[in-house]
Amino acid sequence: MRRALEFLFTRVLRSRLGVALVIAVLVFGVIGGARLVSGPTEPTTAVTTRPTQPIASVDPEAGDDGVLASPPTAVAPRVRPGEPTPEQVAGRFTTAWLTGPGSTGDAWQARLRPLSTPALVEKMTGADPETVPARRSTGPPALRPRTESYVEARVPLDNGTLRLDLVAADGPWLVDAVDWERP
């Protein structure tokens, strides 16, 4: 017996395997003791039980609050007397934008500047007018008013659609963003 205890304390407990075995016995002992002290648990209070009915997060009697269910309210863009309408600004901008090929960058941007917001002027600094993908307009701008001071205009061109975002914060309508959609 003495040799067994001596072997246990001098070799087994001084090795990594022995230390890991002692730690595992202590952990399982603490867990087992905690379960004995806590007593039996009820299966209905467990986190893993699933509800038998759907969980309602909205009052079912309140009606439909979805965006698609309600008809869109008609919003008319606000136009000050004597200033051009969003449709006129979109048409003028499109005409100036289409004159890009064949002109210098400075001349092209000078034609776009009075119809653009400062943010768009900054974004278009250094843009090459030769990259304009279309040559002519095939119809008038179609407006989609979003608010009184924000309108989306779609202009059909010979090989795609020019989408313009127009804003009128505290003054005339100006183009704030330009996007190109291929057919």
For residue 125, tell me if it sits in a domain: yes
What pLDDT, on the 0 to 100 scale, is given for residue 50? 66
The position carrying tokens 């003054």 is 171
What is the average pLDDT score of the chain?
82
The identity of residue 86, as a single letter, is: P
Domain assignment present for residue 156? The answer is yes
CATH code, 161:
3.10.450
In a domain, 25, yes or no: yes
Does 92 share its domain with 164?
A: yes
Q: What is the pLDDT of residues 106-152, one digit of tens each?
A: 888 999 999 999 999 999 888 888 888 888 889 999 999 988 899 99
Name the domain count of the chain. 2
What is residue 126's predicted lDDT score, i.e. its pLDDT? Answer: 86
27 shares a domain with 107: no
8 Å CB contact between 166 and 86: yes
Say how far apart CA 68 and CA 75 lie, in whole Å.
17
Average pLDDT of span 44-66: 62
Q: Is position 103 within any domain?
A: yes
- The pLDDT tens digits of the residues spanning 72-104 come to 566 788 888 889 999 999 999 999 988 877 888
Say which amino acid occupies 131: T
Higher pLDDT, 104 or 59: 104
Instruction: Give the tokens for residue 50.
Output: 């699933």
Percent of residues, the chain, with pLDDT higher than 90: 34
b/e string for 56-69 if b means 16 or more Cβ within 10 A?
eeeeeeeeeeeeee
Domain residues for 153? Answer: 86-181
The 3 state secondary structure assigned to 10-36 is HHHCCCHHHHHHHHHHHHHHHHHHHHH
pTM above 0.75, yes or no: no
In this structure, the answer to whether residues 93 and 177 fall within a common structural domain is yes
pLDDT at 131: 84
Residues ≥6 apart with Cβ < 8 Å to 95? 137
DSSP 29-63: HHHHHHHHHH----GGG-TTPPPSSPPP-S-TTS-
Has residue 42 been placed in a domain? no
Could you tell me which of 167, 165, 144 has the C-alpha nearest to residue 78? 167
Let me know if residue 169 belongs to a domain: yes
Specify the long-range contacts of residues 25-34, CB closer than 8 Å, at least 24 apart. Answer: none
Domain assignment of residue 67, yes or no = no
pLDDT at 51: 65
Answer yes or no: do 93 and 169 share one domain.
yes
- Phi first, then psi: give them for residue 114, nearest 5 degrees: -70, -15
Mean pLDDT of 162-172: 89
pLDDT at residue 14, as a whole number: 74
25 and 93, same domain (yes or no)? no
51 in a structural domain: no
Task: Tell whether the model's pLDDT for residue 71 goes beyond 70.
Answer: no
